[in-house]
């Protein structure tokens, strides 16, 4: 069997190629992709060739092939249906809708333990957010907000919006989604928060979660802290240096900056949760239809190279662009 996959061949250039696909072996499944999602953050860093050598190995995706500057097959938001398994004893997997941290590819073979079954009431397009929602769950664990806290999320991208959706379910005194783009700040309302421009954001925060991937956003996050408060840094800046003013109030107030990264379970939950449990919690969180506001598209898979160019140039609306896969052998 042959599969089609998207590769970044060099900085700023992507193509769809064909490759041989081996049949699934014991403990494996073959998945027919229904939809995938393009992250405007990490995937665009890859497309532009902005991955620094110092962290190239640490940021490898689970089923990535190749490395930077390319050719590299990269991506991690894929939803599909199991078509076949390598062991008849695993036959109950056949027909299941699943999520996988796999690059953009129309069919693929992976271990069964790399698949997360999806709730029936989570539609395919929204399900591509599962990888981002898992990141958000980990961030909320790292942030440890408490009853009645004043919380700000700086940066209304995919991650910031998913974090906001989770925090909105908690009994907080104040929850603001901070972004200079009025259209992005407006996402806050349906998610259960207040959207504000950075200049109007409330200060004296107990926790600020930074997701904007900009130096200005991180500085604003620091400036919003109250005494003994914490900024949780979720952005990854690639090879861009960041300069902050950590004098004045930050030092006197004993502020803290901690990093949240999805590759490791938050230490405040690692004794009682593993990666599968975290993924299952994230899948349940996707039942919220307000999350559909994060999605744009769809774009056919065959147009993915052109879409990546458009996204890298700052075009195309939405936070997560959905890619649909057409299968000529699909009777539907």
Residue 57 to residue 73: CA distance in whole angstroms: 14
Q: Are residues 185 and 85 in the same domain?
A: no
Q: Which helix (H) or strand (E) holds 332?
A: none
User: Is residue 332 over pLDDT 50?
Assistant: no
Backbone angles phi, psi at 227, to 5 degrees: -65, 140
Q: Which residue has the higher pLDDT, 259 or 50?
A: 259
What is the CATH classification number for the domain harbouring 304? 3.90.180.10
What is the band of 302 on the pLDDT scale with cuts at 50, 70, 90? very high
Question: Does residue 329 fall inside a structural domain?
Answer: no
**Residues 253, 294: one domain?**
no
74-96 pLDDT, tens digit per residue, is 999 999 999 999 999 999 999 99
Q: Using an 8 Å Cβ cutoff, are 332 and 170 in contact?
A: no
**Whole-structure pTM value:** 0.89
Q: Find the CATH number of the domain harbouring 165.
A: 3.40.50.720
Task: Give the Å distances, CA to CA, from 289 to 93, 107, 190.
Answer: 26, 28, 9
Q: How high is the pLDDT of residue 34? A: 98
Say yes or no: 73 and 54 in one domain: yes
Question: In total, how many domains does the chain have?
Answer: 2
Return the pLDDT at 279.
92
Q: Verify that 211 and 294 share a domain, yes or no.
A: no
Domain of 304, in residue numbers: 2-129+286-324
Same domain for 237 and 193? yes
Same domain, 117 and 154: no
Is residue 228 scored above 80 in pLDDT? yes
Residues 140 and 107 reside in one and the same domain: no
- Measured between alpha carbons, how far is 285 from 291 in angstroms, rounded to an integer? 10
In a domain, 270, yes or no: no
82 plus 150 within the same structural domain: no
pLDDT of amino acid 328: 55
Rounded mean pLDDT, 238-246: 81
In a domain, 39, yes or no: yes
Per-residue pLDDT at 97:
98
Within this chain, do residues 158 and 252 fall inside the same structural domain, yes or no?
A: yes
Average pLDDT, the chain: 92
Tell me, yes or no, whether 102 and 142 share the same domain: no
Which among 77, 137, 129, 119 is positioned nearest to 260, based on CA atoms? Answer: 137
């Amino acid at each position: 069997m042959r599969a089609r996959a998207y590769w970044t061949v060099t900085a700023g250039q992507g193509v769809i190629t064909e490759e041989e696909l081996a049949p699934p072996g014991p403990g494996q499944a073959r998945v027919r992709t229904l939809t995938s999602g393009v992250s405007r953050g990490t995937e665009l860093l890859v497309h532009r060739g902005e991955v620094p050598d110092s962290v190239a190995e640490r940021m490898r995706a689970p089923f990535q092939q190749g490395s930077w500057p390319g050719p590299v097959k990269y991506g991690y938001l894929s939803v599909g249906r199991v078509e076949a398994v390598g062991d008849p004893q695993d036959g109950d997997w056949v027909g299941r809708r699943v999520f996988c941290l796999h690059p953009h590819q129309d069919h693929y073979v992976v271990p069964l333990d790399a698949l997360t079954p999806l709730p029936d009431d989570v539609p395919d397009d929204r399900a591509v957010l599962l990888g981002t929602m898992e990141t958000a769950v980990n961030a909320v664990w790292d942030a440890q907000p408490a009853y009645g806290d004043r919380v700000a999320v700086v940066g209304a991208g995919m991650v910031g919006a998913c974090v906001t959706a989770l925090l909105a379910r908690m009994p907080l005194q104040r929850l603001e989604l901070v972004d200079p783009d009025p259209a992005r700040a407006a996402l806050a309302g349906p998610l259960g928060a207040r959207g504000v421009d950075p200049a109007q954001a409330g200060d004296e925060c107990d926790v600020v979660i930074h997701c904007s991937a900009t130096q200005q956003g991180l500085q604003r996050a620091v400036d919003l802290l109250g005494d003994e408060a914490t900024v949780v840094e979720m952005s990854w800046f690639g090879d861009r240096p960041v300069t902050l003013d950590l004098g004045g109030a930050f030092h006197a107030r004993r502020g803290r900056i901690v990093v949240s990264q999805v590759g490791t379970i938050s230490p405040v939950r690692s004794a009682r949760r593993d990666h599968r449990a975290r993924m299952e919690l994230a899948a349940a969180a996707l039942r919220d239809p307000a999350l559909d506001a994060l999605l744009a598209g769809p774009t056919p898979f065959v147009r993915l190279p052109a879409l990546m160019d458009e996204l890298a140039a700052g075009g195309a609306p939405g936070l997560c662009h959905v890619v649909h896969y057409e299968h000529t052998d699909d009777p539907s």
